[in-house]
Structure 1
Amino acid sequence: MAGTVAGALIQTGTLTGGVHVHPPSDSPLVPRQLPAPPRMFTGRANELTALTAELDANNEPGATVVISAIGGTGGIGKTWLALHWAHQHLDRFPDGQLYIDLRGFAPGGVPVSSAAALRCFLDALGVGPAAIPVQLDAQMGLYRSLVAGRHMLILIDNAPDTEHIVPLLPGSPTCAVLVTSRRSLTGLITTHGAQSLNLDVLTGGEARELLARHLGEDRLAAEPVAVADLVDCCAGLPLALKLVAVRAARHGDFPLRVLAEELHDHAARLDGLNSEDTNSGIRAVFSWSYDALPAPAAALYGLLGLAPASDISLPAVTSLAAMPAADVAGLLRELEDSHLVTQRAPGRYQMHDLIRLHAAERCPAAARAPALRRLVDYYLHGAYAGDRMLYPHRQPINLAPPSSGVCLTSLRDEASALRWFDAERPCMPAIQRLAADQGWHDVVWQLAWALHTYYLRRGHLHEQVSAWRLGLRAAAEIDDTAVLALAHRRLGQAKARIGEHDEALRHLRDSLRLAEEAGDVPGQAHTHLALMRSWEQMHDDCQALAHASQALRLYERDGTPVWQAEALNAVAWFEARLGNHSEAGAHCREAMRVFDEHHYLEGTANSSDTLGYIAYQAGRYAEALHSYEHAIALYREIGHIYFEADTLAHLGQAMLAAGRRADAERTWRRCLELYQTQHRVSAADLMRERLTAAFTGSSNGAQPAARCGAVSRPDGVS
């Protein structure tokens, strides 16, 4: 039959002149080349729906060939998805299914050529070897003639690039094409109208379901903690999950926690995800993509594996590689096209956890320490520059010059500094731990210092505590009493803010002792302000005023005008709390004058909040509202949502007293949202009580508010 079909086509001139060929009258072969469907396929409901929707849309007049390009990294399940969908829709392709694995990333590095693939297709369509034309163009013409008008699926697996695919594309809109590749196949999308479908990792629920299908629900239910650990170690990668399931099934009487403990060790995790088939383990599958990279992209891939955080910015990668930003951007595009990195947001890149482990193995030992130091220096100097924008009146510290090749961050103002901190915040704890692991003690405490203002403004109090806990350990390794005193003070302040008052007082007393022994007058003053804060939170206004007054005396001896104004505003607050409103108002207005003179918006906002409290206590509600609203506007201008939340609490109190109940409730609910966002549990609980009492209970809620902690800004300096 093959000879008959080919002969008929040759006689009509198809193979030589390209004239239109009518389908042969003989019944054509119906190829069924699809491999078996994957067992226990799990998840991908949205992707399956998208593939079907694209096929359904082809029923419109003037439709063209449906081409769906399924992309993703090795082991993400591209082939499994394509085969599962294809077997679900066999009825849509009654005239057959063609399949070819182009082996674009297989060991050996030589993909199946387009000509060889075409010959396979022609053979499956009944064309004998002698009837296959010599020229590739003629082969393409014969192939397209044979499938014209037929409802067929062509599945092209593991395509290395667009060039290998184009000769295999049919010309008839009755056919559909599925392509899988580890590359993005941009040419196929732009030139041939392919629809791109990039696969992400499985969700936690889908990952657990996959394990349950292999191991049984009872076994998973018996060890929920171990199952959660296994899911976490596999990071949603289907191949990793299947390898784990195979290992666990092979030893059905072994506890799952044993396997989970083995995989917890990062250094051994890829070994734990090996397979008896050397070509199907995680390391081997990733290596196929790595081996296909040009040398510069492969070198950058190895360096990226060193990055400890979940994502990384372009300037950080530039520092890691010590290369021009334009060159790095080009190499990142190559890695992104190969699905080895993902650009989750403009200029920010992520690596799958397991890919990162594989990449780190490929980084030469001699390149590691210098690259890591450049990366840490990028974050340290960027955070320091950002802090100088947020709080220029703070006493600076001295940093060592950045390593050669570091891309220094350029920040124009407070807004750009906050944006930089917000973007880099998820990376900072990992970077500080990395510095600690490397024994770079100066960097560890300096990072804590540089992050302190930002963490407070955004209300990231527990991150502030963690940063200074590491900072204190590092300071203890350095022969510098001033640094150790500073670290004790900052950790004490951070502990006080989360309500750990005993620990806070212990650290603050250690800080004061060290500052006194060193004769550090500003350090003593800073610590007295911090002690004031702790006593305020323990509701002892007299003790708090004593420390504020002592800080003011010390600043007057040896301090800047802004520091003196900080302490003066603190004194004013506690004078007001203790009922001395006249002196409090005078002191507060003097502090505000200094803040305005030095363009210190945060200090002005703090003083405005204090004046609002004084007016509220005197029953001058309109004046109180004006002062509170002014303070809130300034806090919002500088992005200080921590103090904004506190002043919203005060503003709602004044609104309620002024009879503006609806405004008060709305303001307090916004305050509650901020407290919850900042994980300020006790403050949130108190605000819920006030809302209940004022708007669902019998109380009118107009009693003076307990201080929630913004005005004095006791930890603003040094």
Structure 2
Amino acid sequence: MGGGTLDAAGAQTSDDLAGLLRALRRRHARQQRGGELTYRALAARTGWSHTAIAEYLTGKTLPPTDRLDALVRLLGATPAEQGALATARDRIEESRRRAPRAPDRLVPRQLPADVASFAGRDDELAGLDKLVAAPTAVVVAAISGTAGVGKTALAVHWAHRVAERFDDGQLYVNLRGFDPGGQALSAAKALRGFLDALGVPAARVPADLDAQAALYRSVLAGKRILVVLDNARDAGQVRPLLPGTSAAAVLVTSRNQLTSLVSLDGAHPLPLGLLTRDAASRLLANRLGVDRVAAEPEAAEVIVAACARLPLALSIAAARAQQSGFPLATLATELGTAGQRFGVLDAGDAVGEVRAVFSWSYTALTATTAGLFRLLGLHPGPDITMPAAASLAGLPADEVHRLLTELTRANLLTEYRPGRFTAHDLLRAYAAELSAGTDPEPDRRAATTRMLDHYTHTTHAADELLRPHSDPADHLLTPPTAGVRPERPTTHAEAMAWLTAEHPVLLAALRQAASAGFDAHAWRLGRALDTFLDRQGHWHDRVETCRAALLAAERLGDPVAQAVAHRFLAGAHTVVSQYADAHGHLERALELYVRSGDTEGEARTHQNLASLWDRQGETRKALDHSKRTLALAQAAGHRRAQADALNAVGWCHAQLGEHIRALAYCEQALELLQQLGDRAGEAATWDSLGFAHHHLGQYGQAVEYYERTLDLTRDLGDRWGEADTLSRLGDTHDALGDPTSARADWHRALDIFTALNHPDAATVRAKLQLP
């Protein structure tokens, strides 16, 4: 541009604006007959950070109006140029305001599928439309009515109709407020599910319910989002799940009227009665076809009347007609008897009436399918896959696939996600009731054993892929019961995917095992979940599962199982900084191992103590325990424990400034770990080597070793390990005179530590000179 007037006509992006500013800077340098003002020099003259200056001049950040004016005056812009630049900035800001949201933002779309046969409810739909037309505060609609009246169908159908109004997404949860087993979903668990769907890492979610609710409201602040809270028990279960933003809308369904929610929280009551006669007839025609209903209009009217215009009953009756192919008159005759048991529907529970309707679909099943349906009542939920169902039933997978398809077609099961099946709470209660009344107790216990074997053995196989284990107790895993076909993930990625998908099911299975006397399954399942829960930051779940495993091991009276459980519970306590509890469990584990003469277990416990002291800054104590571990591992000939101990001893020497000695130990560890194929141990050792080389001034070597660590930690899904190494890599780049790379490393580390709600975030923030 030389010395002429700047032309801002084409300045439509921040890169263009940054280019104009850089041109001013170069012209200023020529006019002053000197070099360009550096970022730090400009920062010194303006009082802003040199980082901000750099971001303005590289187009990473759009300067505020006042700063842009001051900057261009400093660089000698003419009044005309100042005006042109200000106009360009305003155009960019306006363009950004109108631009669509970034395509990679996380937008939850959790609504279940719409009901294809939905009919009626025109007044209710219009009322909901009116509520959200011009909200001045968060809109809460409380849909109440008897069981099976179509509360969920209405909520989901309307939610799909208005989904486009809520471009920040739709959240959905079944609160199971009237679960026959009494296991209503807690507000805390519902909140954790929502926060996960909104992209909040599990480790960042606080344990306290009020803090979880506050975080939830913060995440939703200003978002146009629709929240559907299905099957609520009472207002207390709902209240923590209400957003605080006027841009949101909430639909709550419940068999209760939720008077407290209406009176105290301003919810709009929407009582839902039975379908009108016309709407009930349309629902039946939607399911069976207009021609079939028109061919037998009298029988259709009898069916509608016998079902009391209850949507759930009508849907199941229609499924019976579809399956059997019998004339509608035959179904009407059956309903003439069974329908008398429905009674007059009121605000009470309709389970008695619905049970009779369920029986029509159940009795139409083949014997084998009916048997599977009953066994599904033994599953703790919230859903089940085909392989797990096959183990539960003790049948081949292809046969179970056919049975699940039959149950889905009969509306006794729903495939709400590909390969994952669930059922309404009343259907689950019906299945459990049938099983209790039909299947002998030994058969029920055998089925539960097969199910728990499936989850325990598959979790163990997945855990072996995350980090190979060789605890003596691991060798005691008994073969699965006959008929059980555990899943066999073959790669680390497959293992992580399976554990992630089954996480809530596995926790439910562990609780069931612990409460029903399956103690061997409870302690082994808790043990096998440990690595996954730790790496993914599910630290509160980790404490719970390890505690359940310990209690089960104590009931078993197995000292080896108790020692392992104490050791892993100590690890869970250590991560959440409960150091006193961790010490207590490790002392008890050490006592049990010594009493049992288990040298290998004793060595591992000393290594756990070394890690615990290292976290507390007691390096000398950590070194003593690491050396004790090494001696015991060498005496026992246990190569894996020996490799870990070599790295631990090296790390302690590096912390004490003895870096040459550190390298000697860590290099031995690395060679052994690579022979064993232990990638997690290898990652830790590359990190130790990087630390030692950094402090020897060998920065290039340190960078190489840290980058190898990062490759492994990212592949392993070890979020904390990745952030910890990034922080040190930033230190090395800074020492190399590369502050740009250093800051990039520190920023990435800070993002992860912040997401994990880890205290190390403060250390990295200080490196970045952030408040």
Which TM-score tier does this pair reach, normalised by the shorter chain?
A: 0.5 to 0.7
Cα distance in structure 2, aligned partners of 1:286 and 1:669: 58
1:295 matched to 2:373: no
CA 1:369–1:76 in structure 2 vs 1: closer, same or farther (change >3 Å)? farther
User: What are the Cα deviations for residues 337-394 of structure 1, in whole angstroms up to 9, with x where unaligned?
Assistant: 3444333432122334454334322323525322221111100111122223333352
Q: Secondary structure at the match of 1:292?
A: helix
Letter of the 1:381 partner, please give it: H
Give the counterpart of 2:236 among 209, 225, 230.
225
Cα 1:468/1:618, change in 2 over 3 Å = same
Contact 2:226–2:250 (8 Å) recurs in 1: no
C-alpha separation between the residues in 2 aligned to 1:237 and 1:401? Answer: 49
Q: CA RMSD in A?
A: 4.0
1:681 has 2:749 as partner: no
Q: Distance in 2 between matches of 1:487 and 1:404?
A: 28
Change (3 A) 1:82 1:669: closer
Greater CA drift, 610-619 or 384-393: 384-393
Q: Which amino acid aligns with 1:388?
A: E
* 1:335, distance to aligned residue in structure 2 (A): 3.2
The equivalent of 2:621 in structure 1 is 543
Residue 628 of structure 1 is matched in structure 2 by 706
Unaligned runs of 5+ in 2: 1-118, 134-146, 160-224, 243-248, 268-341
Residue 502 of structure 1, CA deviation: 0.6
Counterpart contact for 2:229–2:252, Cα < 8 Å: no
1:474 and 2:566 correspond? no
Q: Deviations over 1:415-464 (max 9, x none)?
A: 32222222222211111111111111111111122222222333332222
- The letter of the residue matching 1:461 is W
Partners of 1:279 and 1:285 within 8 A in 2: no
Q: Pick closer, same or farther for the CA change 1:598–1:45 going to 2, 3 Å.
A: farther
Matches within 5 A, 1:47-62: none
Preserved CA contact (<8 Å) 2:567 2:605: yes
Could you tell me which of 424, 442, 448 is aligned with 1:372?
Answer: 448
Q: 1:276, CA displacement in angstroms?
A: 5.4
Distance 1:574 1:84, change over 3 A: closer
Q: Any idea what the Cα deviations from partners look like across 1:279-298, whole Å, max 9, x if unmatched? A: 99442346535522432444
Give the 3 Å change call, closer, same or farther, for CA 475–613 of structure 1 in structure 2: same
Q: What CA distance in whole angstroms lies between the structure 2 residues aligned with 1:307 and 1:640?
A: 31
Q: What amino acid is aligned across from residue 301 of structure 1 in structure 2? A: F
SS of the residue aligned with 1:593? helix
Q: Which moved more, 1:549-558 or 1:391-400?
A: 391-400
Question: In 2, distance between residues paired with 1:408 and 1:523?
Answer: 28
What amino acid sits opposite 1:646 in the alignment? D
Provide Cα deviations, 1:624-662, integer angstroms capped at 9, x if missing partner: 111000111122333333422322222223223333333
| C-alpha spacing 1:280/1:316, structure 2 compared with 1 (3 Å) | same
Q: How does 1:121-136 map to 2 (within 5 A)?
A: none
Q: 1:562-621 CA deviation, whole Å, 9 max, x = no partner?
A: 221110100000000001111111111111111122222222221111011011222322
2:407 equivalent to 1:335: yes
Distance 1:43 1:362 in 2: 39
Say yes or no: does 1:350 pair with 2:422.
yes
Pick closer, same or farther for the CA change 1:556–1:325 going to 2, 3 Å.
same
Q: Distance in 2 between matches of 1:468 and 1:636?
A: 25
Question: Where do 1:577-592 residues align within 5 Å?
Answer: 577-592=655-670
Aligned mates of 2:732, 2:343 — CA distance in 1: 68
* Matched letter for residue 288 of structure 1: V
Aligned 1:567-716 pairs, distance under 5 A? 567-677=645-755, 679-691=756-768, 693=769, 696=770
Query: Partners in 2 of 1:226 and 1:239 — Cα distance?
Result: 11
Are 2:605 and 1:527 equivalent residues in the alignment? Answer: yes
Q: How does 1:426-575 map onto structure 2 within 5 Å?
A: 426-575=504-653
1: CA distance, partners of 2:155 / 2:655: 67
Equivalent-residue separation in structure 2 for 1:591 and 1:468 (angstroms):
29
Question: 1:551, 1:567 within 8 Å by CA — same for their partners in 2?
Answer: yes
Q: Which moved more, 1:664-673 or 1:505-514?
A: 664-673
Does the CA-based 8 Å contact 1:38-1:80 persist in structure 2? no
Gaps of 5+ in 1: 1-33, 49-72, 86-202, 212-219, 257-273, 698-718
Alpha-carbon deviation of 1:466? 1.2
Question: Structure 1 segments of 4 or more deviating over 6 A?
Answer: 44-48, 81-85, 236-240
Aligned equivalents of 2:253 and 2:155: distance in 1? Answer: 16
**2:345 alignment partner AA:** D
CA distance in 2, matches of 1:81, 1:421: 31
User: Deviations 1:137-188 (Å, cap 9, x if unpaired)?
Assistant: xxxxxxxxxxxxxxxxxxxxxxxxxxxxxxxxxxxxxxxxxxxxxxxxxxxx
User: Structure 2 vs 1, CA of residues 80 and 545 (structure 1 numbering), >3 Å: closer, same or farther?
Assistant: closer
1-structure distance, mates of 2:132, 2:403: 29
- Structure 1 partner of 2:345: 277
Cα distance, 1:465 vs structure 2: 1.4
The Cα offsets for residues 309-330 of structure 1, whole Å up to 9 and x where unpaired, read as: 3222211111112222222222
Q: CA separation of 1:237/1:656 partners in 2, compared to 1, >3 Å: closer, same or farther? A: closer
TM value normalised by structure 2? 0.56
Q: Distance in 1 between matches of 2:157 and 2:625?
A: 73
Secondary structure in structure 2 of the residue aligned to 1:295 = coil
The answer to whether the 8 Å contact 1:74/1:286 transfers is no
| CA spacing shift, 1:685–1:299, aligned 2, 3 Å | farther
Contact 1:656 1:664 in 2 (8 A): yes
Deviations 1:504-532 (A, max 9, x none): 01111111122222222111111110111
Find the aligned partners of 1:598 and 1:487 in 2 and give their Cα distance. Answer: 25
Aligned-partner SS, 1:587: helix
Cα distance between partner residues in 1 of 2:673 and 2:479: 32
2:546 touches 2:565 (CA, 8 Å); kept in 1?
Answer: yes
C-alpha change, 1:318 and 1:229, in structure 2 (3 Å) is farther
* Letter matched to residue 356 of structure 1: R
Which amino acid counterpart does residue 225 of structure 1 have in structure 2?
Answer: G
What TM-score do the two structures reach when normalised by structure 1? 0.60
SS in 2 for 1:486: helix
1:349 partner SS:
strand
Could you tell me how far 1:300 is from its partner in structure 2?
Answer: 2.9
Q: Which has the larger radius of gyration?
A: 1
C-alpha distance in structure 2 between counterparts of 1:558 and 1:387, whole Å? 25
In 2: Cα distance, 1:39 partner to 1:653 partner: 62
Instruction: Say if 1:76 and 1:237, in contact at 8 Å, map to a contact too.
Output: no
CA contact (8 A) 1:624 1:654 kept: yes
Question: Matches of 1:579 and 1:311 in 2, distance apart?
Answer: 54
Alignment partners' CA distance in 1, 2:516 and 2:731: 50
Change over 3 Å in CA distance of 1:478–1:618 after alignment to 2: same
Q: Tell me the secondary structure at the aligned position of residue 323 of structure 1.
A: coil
Relative to structure 1, is the Cα distance of residues 83 and 655 closer, same or farther in structure 2, using a 3 angstrom cutoff? closer
Contact 1:525 1:554 in 2 (8 A): yes
Equivalences for residues 48-197 of structure 1 within 5 A: 74-77=148-151
Shift of 1:558: 0.8
Paired residue secondary structure (1:245): coil
What is the distance in 1 between the residues matched to 2:386 and 2:130?
33
User: What is the count of residue pairs matched by the alignment?
Assistant: 484
